[in-house]
Structure 1
Amino acid sequence: MASVDTHLRRIAALADEELDERSGPSPEDHEYREALEAMRALGGESAVDRFADDLKRSIRKSETLPQEQSVRSLGRDICDREGYEIPDDSWFAR
């Protein structure tokens, strides 16, 4: 199980490798840290690992960094699949 920082580094490295002439904010600036930490609060480290894997798959498939709404949607999908209740004050509830 990797830490949030490790996942952020791996996502940034993947973006650097996979995305042609990536411009704009880095994954750290896409609120990915907040999303990963919110997922950890809901489902623990294994949920963070699954979420990071889904983010990486999305990057590979779309060849872009998922924007905030897509990141929230990916997180809500994991919560639905795993039965994690999303509190009203969660980052994923917005």
Structure 2
Amino acid sequence: MASVDTHLRELAALADEKLDERTGSAPEDHEYREAFEAMRALGGESAVDRLAEDLKRSVRKSETLPQEQSVRSLGRDICDENGISIPADSWFAR
């Protein structure tokens, strides 16, 4: 299980490899850290790892960084698949 910082570095490296400056900004400019921290609170490290892998897969496939609503949707899907309840005040509930 990788840490949030490790996942952010891996996303940044993948973005550097797959994206040019016209297709998106760096992962730091998005709310990925907040998404990972919220996912950790809901589902633990394995859920964070799954979200990171889904984000990386999306970058490879679309060659763009997923926007906030897509990240939220991926997180909700992970929670649904694992029977994790999303509280109304969660980052993923918005």
TM-score by length of 2: 0.94
Deviations 1:15-42 (A, max 9, x none): 11112x2345311221000000000000
CA RMSD of aligned residues (A): 1.0
Task: State the AA in 2 paired with 1:84.
Answer: I
Q: Is the 1:15–1:22 contact (alpha carbons within 8 Å) kept by the matching residues of 2? A: no
Which residue is equivalent to 1:39?
A: 39
Extract unaligned runs of 5+ from structure 2.
Answer: none
Task: Kindly indicate whether residue 21 of structure 2 is the aligned counterpart of residue 22 of structure 1.
Answer: yes
Distance 2:60 2:21 in 1: 13
For residue 10 of structure 2, give the secondary structure of its aligned residue in structure 1.
helix
Q: Distance in 2 between the 1:16 and 1:73 partners?
A: 24
Q: Does 2:79 align with 1:79?
A: yes
Cα deviation for residue 89 of structure 1 reads 0.4
Name the CA distance, whole Å, in 2 between partners of 1:45 and 1:53: 12
Q: Partner amino acid for 2:21?
A: R
Match of 1:84, SS state, is: coil
Structure 1 unaligned runs (5+)?
A: none
Residue identity matched to 1:18: K
Q: Which runs of 4+ in 1 moved over 3 A?
A: none
Cα offsets for 1:5-60 (capped at 9, x unmatched)? 110000010011112x2345311221000000000000000110000000000111
Query: 2-side partners of 1:13 and 1:76: how far apart?
Result: 25
Aligned residues: 93
